[in-house]
Structure 1
Amino acid sequence: MSDEVSREDGHRTFGLMELAVRPMWRGNGITRRLHGTLLGALDAERVLLDVHPASEAARAAYRSWGYRKVGEAIPWDGAALHDVLILDLGRAPTRDGMPRS
């Protein structure tokens, strides 16, 4: 990952883990609405998440929502290699670097 992608200031990035919907509820737009509601409440420049490469449905959804792959990582001890994705929210920080209120 480039230095610019990995640069962090404590406010720049929101980390999202384990956004999931039970199989019987999939295909109804629930995950998309949850994701949209969560992002609407954020005051960050971007969202970072890890997704298992075998999770094709999740990867396809994230791509359709604008996420792009920026690298790979093992998110915890014993985990498989995951794709690291970023979604740029287009929200520039304030001049002092603090999040907008």
Structure 2
Amino acid sequence: MTSAPAIDLRTYNELDAIRGDLLDVYAEVRAPLLHLPNYAVTAFGERLDRHATEPGFVTVLAYEGEHPVGYAYGNRIEYGDRYWQRTSPAPDEQYTSRPAVALKEIGVRPAWRGTGTARRVHDSFLASRDEQHVTLMVNKAAGDGKVHSLYQSWGYKDIGHSQPSPASPRLTVMIRLTR
């Protein structure tokens, strides 16, 4: 890993002012997959717009100057949320009986990978959360399993699988304590 670059982490609870920045970073982060329907920028934009209306929505954007280089966003989920309903096997009650935070997306532009930026964005996202657990979904095959391994190194453990939409790949659901 190279030394940590100088970045400014900014937190937002509304999407309007930063939607374009999020879409720009997403397009570069997911460039190799944009030909797949689930990963298309328009599909991401639709998910983003829906997620932004859900309870506890927060986005953290990393900037170098005024250039966005990474992001994370998510929201609070509660017992009975479709997130948990689509997870198989059904998650243990210790994870679903209280609100959790779902990290819906995290990404860092390729030039910023390996610099610690993703971890800084992740930790900043969790810093203001009061939920006990954080959960995320990952395509285990992405990056030859490197992303899954990275999340494991951050303390996440596998608890099941989910396919959020017919166009989505089967994803691994992971969870950890927020602190």
For normalisation by structure 1, the TM-score amounts to: 0.77
Structure ranking higher in helix proportion: 2
Per-residue deviation, 1:7: 2.5
**Matching of residue 17 in structure 1 with residue 104 in structure 2:** yes
Query: Matched residues in 1 for 2:168 and 2:95: separation?
Result: 21
Q: Percent identity over the alignment?
A: 33
Q: Residues 24, 87 of structure 1: CA spacing in aligned structure 2 closer, same or farther, 3 A cutoff?
A: same
Per-residue deviation, 1:44: 0.3
Matched positions, count: 88
1:8-47 equivalence runs, <5 A: 8-9=97-98, 12-47=99-134
- Asked whether the equivalents of residues 162 and 172 of structure 2 are also in contact (C-alpha less than 8 Å), the reply is yes
Gaps of 5+ in 2: 1-89
Structure ranking higher in strand proportion: 2
**Matching of residue 79 in structure 1 with residue 168 in structure 2:** yes
Per-residue deviation, 1:77: 3.0
Query: Matched residues in 2 for 1:50 and 1:59: separation?
Result: 9
Runs of 4+ in 1 over 6 A off after TM superposition: none
Gaps of 5+ in 1: 91-101
Per-residue deviation, 1:83: 0.1
Per-residue deviation, 1:50: 0.5
For normalisation by structure 2, the TM-score amounts to: 0.45
For 2:157, the aligned partner's letter is R
